[in-house]
Amino acid sequence: MRARVGLSSTVEPPYPWRRYHHPNGDVYFYHDHLRFITSDDVCDPTVLEYLIEAREEYLQSLGRDPNFHRLPMDYELVISEVSEEAATIRMYSRSAGRAYEWTEERGDFELLVVEIIKC
């Protein structure tokens, strides 16, 4: 099951999630306290459960990495294409203007983007 936005576009997202519209027309959701962005439909309880589980598992694994201190404190998680089996997860830092990827196999950060264009 992959869940993209659109199925419940008229339903308000659960508090404290907020729905945003990107200039390119895409819809995404943001949770300010968790610093969590997703384009998956948080209005669907099953999808929301998958998203929260993916975030928790990812942060637990990441927290055990000895290089965790290298990640800027303002990082935000972007989780998409969530399902029972997998999710795509990225981390971004606005202050550093960089995107990071971490995989359990490698156990290290890899710089993906040198600069994020600020709007």
So what's the pLDDT on residue 19?
A: 96
Above pLDDT 70, what percent of the chain?
78
Task: Provide the whole-model pTM.
Answer: 0.78
- Two structure tokens written together for 113: 């983007």
48-66 per-position pLDDT tens digit: 999 999 999 889 888 887 7
pLDDT under 50: residue ranges of the chain = 1-3, 5, 7, 111, 113-115, 117, 119
So what's the pLDDT on residue 2?
A: 44
CB within 8 Å of 46: residues ≥ 6 apart: 1, 3
The amino acid sitting at 34 is L
102-115 per-position pLDDT tens digit: 765 655 555 454 44
CB within 8 Å of 99: residues ≥ 6 apart: 90, 91, 92, 93, 111, 112, 113, 116
Name the residue ranges covered by the structural domains of the chain.
Answer: 18-113
